[in-house]
Amino acid sequence: MTPVLVPRKKAWRGSKTSRRNTGYPGVPQWVFALAAAGGLFVLLPLAAMVSRVNWGQFIPLITSESSLMALGLSLRTSATSTVLCIVFGVPLALVLSRASFPGQRLLRAFVLLPLVLPPVVGGIALLYTFGRRGLLGRSLELAGIQIAFSTTAVILAQTFVALPFLVVSLDGALRTAGTKYEAVAATLGARPTTVLRRVSIPLVLPGLASGAVLSFARCLGEFGATLTFAGSLQGVTRTLPLEIYLQRETDADAAVALSLVLVAVAVAVVGLSFRRSRALAPEAGSE
Amino acid sequence: MSIFRMRISALLAACVVAAGLAGCANVTTDKAPSASTGGTQAVARSVTVYAAASLKSPFTEIASEFEAANPGTKVTLNFAGSSTLVSQITQGAPADVFASADSRNMAELSAAGLIDGTPINFATNVLTIAVPSADPALISSFTELAKPGIRVVICAPQVPCGSATEKLEKATGTTLKPVSEESSVTDVLGKITSGEADAGLVYVTDVKTAGDKVKGIFFSESNQAANTYPIATVGSSKNKELANAFIGVVTGSEGKKVLGDAGFGTP
Assess if residue B9 is contained within a domain.
Answer: no
Claim to verify: residue B131 and residue B218 sit in the same structural domain: yes
Claim to verify: residue B149 and residue B221 sit in the same structural domain: yes
Claim to verify: residue B120 and residue B247 sit in the same structural domain: yes
Instruction: Give the pLDDT score at A278.
Output: 62
Assess if residue B234 is contained within a domain.
Answer: yes
Claim to verify: residue B237 and residue B194 sit in the same structural domain: no
* Cβ neighbours around A186 below 10 Å, total: 15
Claim to verify: residue B106 and residue B157 sit in the same structural domain: no
Question: Is the pLDDT score of B20 beyond 70?
Answer: no
Residue B133: give its domain's CATH number: 3.40.190.10
Domains of chain A, residue spans: 52-284
Which of B247, B146, B133 lies closest to B192 in space, CA to CA?
Answer: B133
Who among A1, A29, A227 is closest to B10 (CB)?
A: A29
Residue contact B3–A246, C-beta within 8 A: no
Claim to verify: residue B52 and residue B67 sit in the same structural domain: yes
Domain that holds residue B87: 44-124+228-261
Closest chain A CA to residue B13: A33
Residue contact A36–B187, C-beta within 8 A: no
Q: What is the CATH number of domain A52-284?
A: 1.10.3720.10
Assess if residue B134 is contained within a domain.
Answer: yes
Listed in sequence order, the residues at least 6 apart from B96 whose beta carbon sits closer than 8 Å to its beta carbon are B33, B47, B48, B49, B233, B234, B237, B238, B239, B240, B242, B243, B246
Instruction: Give the pLDDT score at B158.
Output: 86
Instruction: Give the pLDDT score at A269.
Output: 84
Assess if residue B168 is contained within a domain.
Answer: yes
Claim to verify: residue B181 and residue B91 sit in the same structural domain: no
Out of A18-32, A136-150, A262-276, B81-95, least confident range:
A18-32
Listed in sequence order, the residues at least 6 apart from B91 whose beta carbon sits closer than 8 Å to its beta carbon are none
Assess if residue B30 is contained within a domain.
Answer: no
Per-residue pLDDT of A100-150, as tens digits, reads 899 999 999 999 899 889 988 999 999 999 998 889 988 998 888 889 899
Who among B4, B81, B182 is closest to A231 (CB)?
A: B182
Question: Is the pLDDT score of A76 beyond 80?
Answer: yes
Mean pLDDT (chain B, rounded)? 84
Domain count, chain B: 2
Claim to verify: residue B155 and residue B216 sit in the same structural domain: yes
Claim to verify: residue B242 and residue B158 sit in the same structural domain: no
Q: What CA–CA distance (Å, rounded) separates A255 from B267?
A: 34
Q: Model ipTM?
A: 0.74
- Residue B101 DSSP class: S
User: Would you call B235 an interface residue with chain A, using a CB distance cutoff of 8 Å?
Assistant: no
Instruction: Give the pLDDT score at A90.
Output: 96
Claim to verify: residue B95 and residue B118 sit in the same structural domain: yes
Per-residue pLDDT of B213-233, as tens digits, reads 899 999 989 989 898 999 999
User: Would you call B87 an interface residue with chain A, using a CB distance cutoff of 8 Å?
Assistant: yes
pLDDT grade for B159, boundaries at 50, 70 and 90: confident
pLDDT grade for B84, boundaries at 50, 70 and 90: confident
Q: What CA–CA distance (Å, rounded) separates B204 from B208?
A: 7
Claim to verify: residue B193 and residue B161 sit in the same structural domain: yes
Q: Look at residue B41 and give its three-state secondary structure.
A: coil
Listed in sequence order, the residues at least 6 apart from A228 whose beta carbon sits closer than 8 Å to its beta carbon are A119, A120, A122, A123, A124, A126, A127, B190
Which of A197, A144, A147, A201 lies closest to A174 in space, CA to CA?
Answer: A201
Assess if residue B235 is contained within a domain.
Answer: yes
